[in-house]
Structure 1
C-alpha cells in the first residue's frame, strides 16, 4: 500500500488487471486510447470494470430493487472513528464473536480475519475466504452499526447465502465496505480514524473507493 504522512495508512488494494474479481463479474481491463509516444497530445486510459472491483462500497441497490444508489449514501457512515476487530482464528465470522465484541449503534467496524494474512489482491480468486454468517449479519443489523468493512471481495462467504447476508445488512442501513487491505494496519491497531469515499456514480449499485485509516490511541474514539 502507498506511504502516507501523519500516520495515515492506505487500505485500498491496487487496481490492475491481475486483481482477482468475483467469478461472475467481468475482468478488469484498462487500455491506453491515446498515447504520447504514438503522436497523441496526451495519454488517456479507458477503464472497464465492475463497480464491485477491488476495494469498494455496496449500495443498498446492489441487492434491494429501488433502494438507494451509491450517490445517495450518507457519507457520515464512512468517515470517522472505527473499531478494528481481530477475528483471525475463525473459519467464518460468527454471531458469537460479534456479540462478544458488543457492537454499538452508529459504530463503524472493520473485521480483520485470516484473509489478511497475505496480499490476496495479488493471487487468484479463492473460494475459501472468510465471510459473515447470516446470524453474524443479523447481530450487526440489530445493533444498528453504521458500517462494516471486510478484508475480501464479499461480506458473505462464497458458499454462504450471500444475498441474504447482504440484504440483512443493507436493509438495516449498514453500509458495506468490501476488499479492504487491513493487513496494512499495524497489528496492534484496535481503534482508527476511517476515511472512505466512493465515487459519485449516479444510479450505481456500488463504487470503488479510496480507503484510508489512521490508528488512534485506545479510548480516543
Structure 2
C-alpha cells in the first residue's frame, strides 16, 4: 500500500500565525546515571503544522476539537490541484475535478509548500467554493496553506461557511508530491477536550 505523509515537520522552525504561540520543547529529564529516560515538555499553539480547526475556533458556542465526530477525518477523499491560481480558490479552479466527489476534498495551491516560513500571501478558499462543495455533500475541506481564509481577514468568511454548513477543515497540509486524484484520508485530531484545534498526522493512502 502506497502512503503519502502530508504533514509538515513540527519544530521550532515551524511557522505559526503572527502573534500565536510558537513551538518550543524543553527537557525535564535526560538519560544519565540515575535517570533511565528522556522526558520533555512542549509549548505550542494547537494550530501548529497540519491541524484540524474545531468549531470552537470560529464559533463561541462551538464544540472543542475533542468533542467532534471523527468520521469526517477518515475515509475517501479527492486531491485537486489549483496551483498558483490566485489569492482565492474559486469554483472555476477546481470544477475540472468535481464529478462524483467523495465527502472530503483537499486543494493544492502551492508548487512547493513553505514548511519553515510564514506566507502572508497564502491562498485561501473563496466562500462560494465551500458553499458549492457542501452542496455536493463534502464534509471536510483541506488546503496546503495556514488558513482557509486570507491571512489578513477579520471576518473569516470561509470559516463562517463551514460553521453554518457543519463542515470540518484541515489546514497546513503538504501536497507537493501528491498527484491529483482519489485517496483514503487519515487525519485524526487528538482528544483535546477544551481546545480550539488539534495537530494531526495526516496521511493519504491507496491500495
Instruction: Map 1:4-19; keep pairs closer than 5 Å.
Output: 6-19=1-14
Aligned to 1:3: none
Which stretch of structure 1 is more off in the superposition, 82-91 or 159-168?
159-168
1:62 Cα shift?
Answer: 0.7
Matched, 1:202 2:193: yes
SS of residue matched to 2:201: strand
Structure 1 pair 51–128 and aligned structure 2 pair: CA distance change class (3 A): same
Instruction: Map 1:117-128; keep pairs closer than 5 Å.
Output: 117-122=111-116, 124-128=117-121
Deviations 1:49-72 (A, max 9, x none): 111111000111111112121112
1:145 Cα shift?
Answer: 1.1
Structure 1 pair 97–119 and aligned structure 2 pair: CA distance change class (3 A): closer
Number of residue equivalences:
206
* Structure 2 counterpart of 1:76, from 68, 71, 83: 71
Deviations 1:192-211 (A, max 9, x none): 11111110101211100011
SS of residue matched to 2:194: coil
Matched, 1:97 2:90: no
| 8 Å Cα contact 1:156-1:166 kept in structure 2 | yes
1:119 Cα shift?
Answer: 4.3
| 8 Å Cα contact 2:51-2:170 kept in structure 1 | yes
Matched, 1:64 2:59: yes
Structure 1 pair 144–30 and aligned structure 2 pair: CA distance change class (3 A): same
- CA distance in structure 1 between the aligned counterparts of 2:97 and 2:13, rounded to whole angstroms: 36
Q: CA RMSD in A?
A: 2.1
| 8 Å Cα contact 2:65-2:189 kept in structure 1 | yes
- CA distance in structure 1 between the aligned counterparts of 2:13 and 2:33, rounded to whole angstroms: 26
Structure 2 stretches of 5 or more lacking a match? Answer: none
TM-score normalised by structure 2 residue count: 0.90
